[in-house]
Chain A
Amino acid sequence: MRNNNLMFVIAIACLCFMHCATTRAPSGWLSDPDNVGKDVYGGWVDVTSRQGLISGELIAVERDSVYVAKEHLRAIAVADVLDMRITVFDAGSKIALGTFGGTVLALSNGLWFLLTGPMWIIGGSIAAIYRSYDPVYDFPSSDLRSLALFARFPQGLPASLDRNSIKAKVRK
């Protein structure tokens, strides 16, 4: 009995400390997972740098600079980057909806809801949190060079590129 109470408290405490991944990407900007393979743009990036917070499409990551575009292209010196979060696709909210639906369906279990209800509420919440991190890659927890593959130009900025012509992907 005491052990079960302890487990419940630990589970709730874990939920309190965990939270869903957030992004500043405008609604509808990110592709669905099924369409990422044909998306010709970079992922959404939120860069916290010494210049402040800079968000937009990740254009390229080079040895000394990170290139981000919104209305225009901006270069941020790698030395100035404090942290960075790239979001590659839209994780959606269907797991959260599924958790709600599963909890409602579990009501059909009668008294067994005492088991299946918490399973859905706690387990579903953890699954939703886990899901929100599926499309997310963070620096410094990930190597900066490895994040280049989520840029519009994973090979680096082309030498002949007119930097003034680069604009971020327009929201769908």
Chain B
Amino acid sequence: MASKISLLFVAAALFCGCVARTVERQTSLPGEFTRLKSADMDKLKAQSPHLKAHMKDGSLYVFSRWDYTKAGSEISGEAQLFDVSRRAFPSKLYTLGLDSVALLETNVISNSGAAVAMTVFTGITAAMTAFCITNPKACFGSCPTFYVSDGDTMRLQAEGFSSSIAPSLEAADVDALYHGRSNNGTVNIVMRNEALETHVVRYVDLLVVPRKEACRVFSEGDRRFWESTSVNPPLSAQAPEGDCLPLVRNADGIERFSRADETYLGAKETLDLAFRVRPDRSYGLVIACRQTLLPTYMLYQAFAYMGSDVGHWLAQMERKAVPKQYSSMELLLGGIEAMTRGEDGQWKIQGAIDEHGPLATDVHIISLSTLRDSTLSVRLRMTKGTWRIDYVALAELSQELQPVRLRPRIVLRNNQEDSEALALLLDSSKVLVTLPGDTYTLAYNLPDSYPDYELFLESRGYYLEWIRKEWIDEQDPMYLAEMFLTPESALRRMTKEFNRVEAQMEDCFWRSRYAKQ
């Protein structure tokens, strides 16, 4: 299919380039003609296959091959003679003295500007088609995106309920708005649907936790909020490729990530970090991260294998007739496991981060058991090529806090107040449905009882992917069964194909973001 479409475009490009020719006619008096430089004459011979010699008596010689001789005083070559009434005589070799010629005419053939435009259009359309054919699983997807001001610009800070790809998977999701800033006691959150998806949003609430000066608050899981009096970067960070400390010591968007393994997509890798600690204090490991596109690719590949039966499979999933969508694959790819080295020298798992989503970097904390040494060794274990880690730090925990839940006060759509959308978001028995390109601004008023707050976003809902034709061309029940029943084997088989597209996926993904014009 792809090769046929490619051939069609090549044919179209050739068609456009070849069919729209234009002609530039030039006439010269013999004297002007003889003054042409040799290089210009050669160029003219190449561009104008025929030379017409209009004679003073009205006859015409049409040279099909021509040259000039005797320092330009004669033209010779194979030509056909036409008399003044344009009766033709057989072609033969002629030599004409330029003194008998009234005018010499050349016709330079070139491509029309219209053909150039058509070739450009064909190129753009072909590129778009090639993009859709070769990377149908790199199209922007994954749930509502939330933009919050960082004090300067509106910044993507959260994506809601990424795992909830069907009504039965509706879930709530808490995301830290780590860089979020209020403006005069108001927080504006812009919620966008930037994918070919239908978003069903039950609510979007702001969870705010009072924050003392120089303190930060981190969330553990989705429900525990820890106040931290100091947050310290690692002393060292060692990845398989070498020192990665510069990449992970600040929450600056510069991420450490790796390419997927070249033999098995489920292969694991580890990052080893060291921190200075004060014994007998409580600590938590802070990790800011997001997924790469490998899990998204696997989800879309599952849709592709379902093919035209995707509706049936999703309906079965709703009826609980099949296991949750690609859950076994999800388990194999897994999250980021955080381990500390115990007194016995063995690595002990302290917790894991497995929140889905390739869009927004989320900040998590894993509280650690009480430490006794002055140095803490941490190992992060994850599937190679699955996680992008922006920041790792050790936070000294002082107390657990309770957040205050804020509901949106105003909802704007296209800068107009949308009271209907607000009512839907305030009534948990109802939902707000958004379509590609929809943008809502939700405004929240912070309580004025405290000078500063740490901001978290809790959203609940689910979303429905719009199944694209390119996906369902790969329908294959056997491969689908393999993904569910022997995911390890599926990961091995798909390794080569994923390696082929991996390098371009991130770029393709962000470029395919859907925005209403």
Contacts of B105 in A (CB 8 A): 149, 154
User: Quick check: B23 and A135 within 8 Å, CB to CB?
Assistant: yes
Q: How far, in angstroms, from A95 to B54 measured CA to CA in the complex? A: 34
CB of B82 closer than 8 Å to a CB of A:
yes
Contacts of A51 in B (CB 8 A): none
Whole-angstrom distance between the Cβ of A137 and the nearest chain B Cβ:
10
Question: How many residues of A sit at the interface, in one of the four size bands?
Answer: 35 or more
Contact flags B54-98 to A (C-beta < 8 A → 1, else 0): 101110101010000000000000000010111010000000000
Whole-angstrom distance between the Cβ of B323 and the nearest chain A Cβ:
31
Contacts of B107 in A (CB 8 A): 36-37
Interface residues of B in 250-293 (CB under 8 A from A): none
Q: Given contacts A38-B62, A160-B58, is CB(A112)–CB(B132) below 8 Å?
A: yes
Contact flags B187-209 to A (C-beta < 8 A → 1, else 0): 00000000010000000000000
Cβ-closest chain B residue relative to A155: B102
Q: How far, in angstroms, from A111 to B49 measured CA to CA in the complex? A: 46
In the complex, identify which listed stretch (A11-19, A77-85, A98-106) lies at the interface while the others stay far away: A98-106
Whole-angstrom distance between the Cβ of A161 and the nearest chain B Cβ:
6
Q: Given contacts A37-B50, A110-B468, A134-B114, is CB(A98)–CB(B23) below 8 Å?
A: no
CB of A33 closer than 8 Å to a CB of B:
yes
Contacts of A56 in B (CB 8 A): none
User: Quick check: B121 and A102 within 8 Å, CB to CB?
Assistant: yes
Contact flags B1-36 to A (C-beta < 8 A → 1, else 0): 000010011001001100111110111000000000
User: Quick check: B114 and A1 within 8 Å, CB to CB?
Assistant: no
In the complex, identify which listed stretch (B122-130, B211-219, B223-231, B401-409) lies at the interface while the others stay far away: B122-130
Contact flags A62-104 to B (C-beta < 8 A → 1, else 0): 0000000000000000000000000011011011001101100
Q: How far, in angstroms, from A130 to B27 measured CA to CA in the complex? A: 25
Contacts of B50 in A (CB 8 A): 37-38
Could you count the A-B residue pairs with CB atoms below 8 Å apart for me: how many are there?
149
Q: Given contacts A109-B129, A110-B469, A119-B121, is CB(A155)–CB(B54) below 8 Å?
A: yes
User: Quick check: B114 and A109 within 8 Å, CB to CB?
Assistant: no
Cβ-closest chain B residue relative to A60: B58
User: Quick check: B128 and A116 within 8 Å, CB to CB?
Assistant: yes
Cβ-closest chain A residue relative to B88: A40
Q: Given contacts A108-B132, A123-B121, is CB(A154)–CB(B27) below 8 Å?
A: yes
Contacts of A105 in B (CB 8 A): 5, 8-9, 12, 125, 129
CB of A158 closer than 8 Å to a CB of B:
yes
User: Quick check: A40 and B86 within 8 Å, CB to CB?
Assistant: yes
Contact flags B105-127 to A (C-beta < 8 A → 1, else 0): 11101001111011001101100
Contacts of A120 in B (CB 8 A): 121, 125
Contacts of B57 in A (CB 8 A): 158, 160
Q: How many residues of B contact A (CB 8 A)?
A: 57
User: Quick check: A37 and B125 within 8 Å, CB to CB?
Assistant: no
User: Which of B22, B26, B56 interacts with A155 by CB under 8 Å?
Assistant: B56
User: Quick check: B84 and A106 within 8 Å, CB to CB?
Assistant: no
User: Quick check: B469 and A102 within 8 Å, CB to CB?
Assistant: no
Whole-angstrom distance between the Cβ of A41 and the nearest chain B Cβ:
7
Contacts of B27 in A (CB 8 A): 149, 154
User: Quick check: B22 and A134 within 8 Å, CB to CB?
Assistant: yes
Cβ-closest chain B residue relative to A169: B86
CB of B398 closer than 8 Å to a CB of A:
no
Whole-angstrom distance between the Cβ of A100 and the nearest chain B Cβ:
11
Whole-angstrom distance between the Cβ of B31 and the nearest chain A Cβ:
14
Contact flags A115-158 to B (C-beta < 8 A → 1, else 0): 11001100110111011001100000000000001101111011
Contacts of B468 in A (CB 8 A): 110
CB of A165 closer than 8 Å to a CB of B:
yes
Q: How far, in angstroms, from A124 to B115 measured CA to CA in the complex? A: 10
Contacts of A108 in B (CB 8 A): 5, 129, 132
Q: How far, in angstroms, from A155 to B52 measured CA to CA in the complex? A: 12
Interface residues of A in 6-53 (CB under 8 A from B): 33-34, 36-38, 40-41
CB of B449 closer than 8 Å to a CB of A:
no
User: Quick check: A95 and B48 within 8 Å, CB to CB?
Assistant: no
CB of B514 closer than 8 Å to a CB of A:
yes
User: Quick check: B121 and A95 within 8 Å, CB to CB?
Assistant: no
User: Quick check: A131 and B112 within 8 Å, CB to CB?
Assistant: yes
Given contacts A98-B15, A155-B56, 16 further A-B contacts (CB under 8 A): A36-B23, A38-B62, A40-B52, A94-B19, A95-B19, A95-B20, A102-B122, A102-B125, A105-B125, A108-B129, A124-B118, A131-B112, A152-B86, A154-B27, A154-B105, A155-B54
Q: What 4 pairs across the A-B complex have the smallest Cβ distances?
A: A158-B58, A37-B50, A155-B102, A131-B114
Enumerate 20 A-B pairs (CB-CB under 8 Å) in ascending A order: A1-B516, A33-B109, A36-B25, A37-B50, A37-B109, A38-B62, A40-B62, A92-B20, A94-B19, A95-B20, A98-B12, A98-B15, A102-B121, A105-B8, A106-B125, A108-B5, A123-B117, A130-B112, A130-B114, A152-B86
